[in-house]
Amino acid sequence: MLVTAIIANSRRNGRFDVVVDGSLAATLSIEAIERLKIAVGTVVDARIEAALTREAAIVTTYDRALNMIALRARSAAELRRLLVRKGEPPDIVDIAIERLLRAGFLDDSSFARQFARSKAVGAGLSRRRVQQELARRGVARDIAESAIADVFAQEEIDDADTIDRVARKKLKSLARLDPQVQRRRLYAFLARRGYEVDDIARTIRAIVPRASDSLEVGVE
């Protein structure tokens, strides 16, 4: 068998169809074509045929992963889990992930900073909750802690100020409810954002009027 043509793929930018004896054999990157020393006239023996098949699988998984992170930023571990769950072979996924890391398309430090800024500033999550969410996404603890420290310092975020701000904002949506219901709903809301029980109680005591200073709250 011989390579009879190498043609730019019309639907996948930067990909090339390797044609063997008039039939499509594999769709590869130019890097793979050069690395495998594929050219028109190359004799395709069993070794080359296997290499074409494997490289085509890697490119397909790579492109799928690239499309996924174009839609939403993800950590390397999170992306790997999703690809395997979608049926991609784990060994092929590992190679694709490594190539994405080398190319700079995947960067857990950058992802962690972006995530921390979005969740702390935008959603009002506590430092502890942001740490938990990054851990769930497979970000290493040291990378997560560094990213959180950078973001909280740059944005001058303080959990005490944030809990007060998000609590008062949430309270506006509970204005029609009985104060005791307000307290329960507000407690549950702040607990989901990762704030400490004592801080939640102190905040609710400060912003929800009640006849007594005593406070008994529970999750509804």
Measured CA to CA, the distance from residue 67 to residue 83 in angstroms comes to 11
- CA 117-74-28 angle, to 5 degrees, is 145
Residue 80 buriedness (CB in 10 A; 0-12 / 13-18 / 19+): buried
Helices (H), 72-119: 76-85, 90-103, 108-117
> What's the pLDDT at 50?
95
- Closest to 59 measured CA to CA, from 95, 25, 5, 86: 95
Categorize the per-residue pLDDT at 212 as very low, low, confident or very high, splitting at 50, 70 and 90.
very low
> What's the pLDDT at 49?
94
> What's the pLDDT at 214?
43
Categorize the per-residue pLDDT at 219 as very low, low, confident or very high, splitting at 50, 70 and 90.
very low
- Closest to 89 measured CA to CA, from 97, 213, 118, 198: 97
**Residues 32-48 pLDDT 10s:** 999 999 999 999 999 99
Measured CA to CA, the distance from residue 186 to residue 180 in angstroms comes to 10
Supply the pTM of this predicted model.
0.79
Helices (H), the chain: 30-35, 46-71, 76-85, 90-103, 108-117, 127-136, 141-154, 159-173, 179-192, 197-207
Taking 80 as the threshold, does the pLDDT of residue 211 lie above it?
A: no
**Residues 38-93 pLDDT 10s:** 999 999 999 999 999 999 999 999 999 999 999 999 999 999 999 999 999 999 99
